[in-house]
Structure 1
């Protein structure tokens, strides 16, 4: 019997709110991540999203378990420069939108189609334009 070749079917990216919802077992978010995995999508978060998502009350074991099932994308110099350029292009200020810009920059360089679970449709819409499908969480 021949093995079926796995194909990459796009990317599901979670911003900090998407990660927060996953950490508390939000049924809708868990279902969307499960469906993405079933479809062969890569499930990704930006490493900087951890800064916003993790709180003092976050269960560290749960966090470790959730992160073990995600690809955590680092932010290095090149990614930071691209996010900074994105902020300049959109006229948004780095102090307030730095992490959003890093998430948007990551989203735009992922395997398409890309869907982003976010609570910030307005700002992420400005940053991602029409390159990424935004899904409210």
Structure 2
């Protein structure tokens, strides 16, 4: 049974984006993350991750096998020229350093180019919310709502 709290966080359609923490929790068997993904899929949302995210979530042994299986179930979004340009704009708008926040910027840019409504599962409470707020200024970009786990 999925809690009402989880049901209210995932809207119909749209996109659920997993950053490294969201994916890590799922790989490690976190029931809350599993439920959130199930609800998203049941509601017709696409579950996606940036092509750079697995680099932060490396595993070995059986956990590596589980990671490979889960990655095969979700949509991998490539780091295209459009994603890089959006990430650059987000970093500038948020006043963040590209060296420190590069991966976060690429993940949020990936989310900003996704089908709305967009939820981004993250554990970051500083850079990602700032980048999500900056994404609101991108032309044609949907609002990217960070869900802190």
TM-score of the pair, normalised by structure 1: 0.88
Q: CA RMSD in A?
A: 1.6
- Which whole-Å CA distance do the structure 1 matches of 2:62 and 2:78 have between them? 21
Question: CA contact under 8 A between 2:83 and 2:113: conserved in structure 1?
Answer: no
Higher RCO by CA contacts (8 Å cutoff, separation 6 or greater): 1
Unpaired runs of 5+ residues, structure 1, are 1-7
Match of 2:111 among 107, 113, 117: 107
The answer to whether the aligner puts 1:35 opposite 2:39 as a matched pair is yes
Rounded to whole Å, the distance in 1 between the matches of 2:39 and 2:105 is 26
Matched, 1:134 2:146: yes
Q: State the match for 1:71 in structure 2.
A: 75
Query: For residues 66 and 116 of structure 1, what CA distance do their matches in structure 2 show?
Result: 17
Closer/same/farther in 2, CA of residues 17 and 70 from structure 1, 3 Å limit: same
| Secondary structure, aligned partner of 1:59 | helix
CA distance in 2, matches of 1:89, 1:136: 22
Task: Give the 5 Å matches for 1:26-65.
Answer: 26-56=30-60, 59-65=63-69
CA distance in 1, matches of 2:13, 2:80: 26
Q: Give the superposition deviation at 1:122.
A: 2.2
Q: Number of paired residues?
A: 130
TM-score by length of 2: 0.81
